[in-house]
Structure 1
């Protein structure tokens, strides 16, 4: 525990300097989705490169992709020790609507021990913490307890379209024993969590075509199929009244929850009544036989995200529409395959489409689910590091959402992925007034530093999946 005292002293002594540096990083409007910020993206990558060099990382480079750049750096002098690959992103979301920000999104401001700025929580603040942890260890010890590699990309907020190719082309360069990502959240204030699984994603658009053009409902209604009715019939066929998905074979490859996982979720004491009040519903709805956390973390879904067609203006128009459509997405769990699920959706739609219409099914981008075993040493080690600093038990959770590139890391590099985040769900990432609670910035620095020591206690064989 001596290293914790050393880290604590270093971070206290340098806190204001570190916050000043983070503010510099946050002032760069690195919005990857807007072409006018291409120069800012390059500036942010160069800022990171300089930061990597200043803390003692080596082989630092800005690597070109078919889109925005990847910043790489490493330190590989811990002979015989495991290697941690740290992933994060330096791009941020757009800031609209500006009028809802209390302070300017790229002029960082501390209020009530919270740092307000776009990217403060997602993900510049959390990336910065890993860089400063390396700095602290290098300054105080002259070396690191493990080998580290950093890969920080500039396209996460637009779906990482070019990173998978980069990973495949740089497998040797990125070789490691575990991947650590700090781009997720804690269970709540003062309640650390290690996320060991994420759901995958796939989706389709259904376009239903009837007549060549809209028809008068008085002249043709009752004699020509209505595409909206046809669409409604297809959509209704996807689930039964208890929320179970009725697509043939949809659940065939779903990995069941272990007893240990179900007990761990139960131990979290999740308040479903508080959730109902928060989201404004009288009752929850979901697949029978599973709790809310099990439904949203470890069970697959099929949701209709939007429906379009016909007349929706003010008043009424007696029209029989020519076409209608819907967008559908499915959250997937291990070991479901997105391509297989799309084929099952297409077969189901073909089977249930009514007469009198043609149906076209278009695919959206896909992302595979990911899971690192609940009891994996790297997962449990992260929990211990949290507990040393926060002095409360760590929650072991799965995420209901999807980060497709995480599954790509898992599949291409074949490494355990540890999601140890320090954000809170209330921090408005992707929304106006994004902020980062500085108590989690302070404590997170110490957690990360300790985690490097925890991993140093394992052999490479210990960490294999």
Structure 2
């Protein structure tokens, strides 16, 4: 008899589990509603350089969140406001989760898109020859191919996660489910500008933003397409170096071999910063960075196929900063992201150029201080015989000092990292296991940067990123897209997280 009772209890528990997860199966109606919502928000231009367009996006978000039982407030900053949405259902005694969503997108150049307007979403199917061909939206009324993609600016970065979140809320309400914690959502409309007013906005609105956990719905899955959690991100600091030659470009026949060429001098200066294996030679650049055996195991558990990665990106050998890709992004980088001197291509001229400019980005890690790295870089430049200025030198300065360089910089935001076994991490890992039956890929940090450190440092809140979009989404580039299967699965992922007790 006891065995029968135990069996009935086990069956009952199993059925309860099935019933609890049953709402998180997307019906055809759910899919079509989600795509309709997505197309609507994608159709609103969202380049933060155009405040009038951003205002339309903000009003759309206010209406969309109010409709889903949120109370919205614009938080003043020194620029475009942040939008805070507080969920109106209060859970007494339960923790508060703050969710970060990005609304703005990168600028577009329609000439490089495979469609007339990057803000008119297009449904596309890949042909046998690899080309993406536009198909009618009415095809969604029939069987949906999970490999179809929607092409438009911000499909993946990052209106995709916004639409996923809103549709997840609709599913939760439709199935009369409870969100077992207090929730608020902060929306950033200047992320692609480097979120210049976010830090000040967080400080001014510290109490309104106070939370126990911070979740960022942003970014691509691991290249294997496996469910992924990312526990940190590198910070970013940018530097501009300008070296000077003659006051005006000079005829290379008359003055070549006589007037020093700033492009050559800049090339030598940049070459002095790294060795032949890509390691930064600036003294002390990697100090305070240690990777112990436990950390190595965490990094090794990420299922990277580095041979495939090299083939896909198109290079022969990686830099030797570390033993593998995951270890390499645990260190601060020094990257030349662009150079300019004279003219090239159809506009090339026989001149000695007057200036040479290098744009550099430094990706910082949690252990590295941006100001400290900048000071190390200044010291290195001084050691190469240069005098550093903060503005363009006068003609008098140029004729008395042969080695002048202007150095300007901007610290956009710092790195952050949360422990994998933190309460936030364990909660999200439970949710992923509930949905997928397995642990997600857990990345200690991402190589890229997101403006989350103001929340972490000001509010003292642990933060974890939940990526949902396909890795090959052309983020920041022409022909940005999202794969339908990833869009639909992102809705299920968010719905599962929002109903998982902390």
Structure 2 contact 115–122 (Cα < 8 Å) conserved: no
Structure-to-structure mapping, 1:27-426, within 5 angstroms = 27-34=43-50, 38=52, 40-57=53-70, 59-75=71-87, 77-98=90-111, 100-102=113-115, 104-111=117-124, 112-113=145-146, 114-141=149-176, 143-188=178-223, 190-214=225-249, 225-254=260-289, 256-281=290-315, 283-295=316-328, 297-310=329-342, 312=344, 319-353=351-385, 356-397=402-443, 398-403=445-450, 405-426=451-472
Once structures 1 and 2 are overlaid, which stretch shifts more, 306-315 or 368-377? Answer: 306-315
> How many angstroms does 1:382 deviate by?
2.0
- Uncovered stretches (5+) of structure 1, i.e. residues with no partner: 458-465
Q: 1:191 to 1:226 in 2, by over 3 A?
A: same
Residue aligning to 1:463: none
> How many angstroms does 1:288 deviate by?
4.6
Once structures 1 and 2 are overlaid, which stretch shifts more, 137-146 or 148-157? Answer: 137-146
- Aligned: 1:14 with 2:30: yes
Structure 1 contact 230–353 (Cα < 8 Å) conserved: no
> How many angstroms does 1:149 deviate by?
0.2
Task: Tell me which structure has the larger Cα radius of gyration.
Answer: 2
- Uncovered stretches (5+) of structure 2, i.e. residues with no partner: 1-16, 125-144, 387-400
| TM-score normalised by L of structure 2 | 0.81
> How many angstroms does 1:267 deviate by?
3.0
Once structures 1 and 2 are overlaid, which stretch shifts more, 355-364 or 154-163? Answer: 355-364
Q: 1:433 to 1:408 in 2, by over 3 A?
A: same
Structure 2 contact 25–492 (Cα < 8 Å) conserved: no
Residue aligning to 2:391: none
Whole-angstrom distance in 2 between the partners of 1:121 and 1:193: 16
Q: How many residues align?
A: 448
Residue aligning to 1:447: 493
Structure 2 contact 435–496 (Cα < 8 Å) conserved: no
> How many angstroms does 1:230 deviate by?
2.8
Q: 1:52 to 1:319 in 2, by over 3 A?
A: closer
Whole-angstrom distance in 2 between the partners of 1:376 and 1:126: 24
Deviations 1:115-151 (CA, angstroms, capped at 9, x unpaired): 3332222211202222333333344336421110011
Residue aligning to 2:4: none
Q: 1:395 to 1:142 in 2, by over 3 A?
A: closer
Whole-angstrom distance in 1 between the partners of 2:118 and 2:350: 48
Q: 1:157 to 1:328 in 2, by over 3 A?
A: closer
Structure 1 contact 178–378 (Cα < 8 Å) conserved: yes
Whole-angstrom distance in 2 between the partners of 1:311 and 1:44: 40
Whole-angstrom distance in 1 between the partners of 2:348 and 2:60: 57
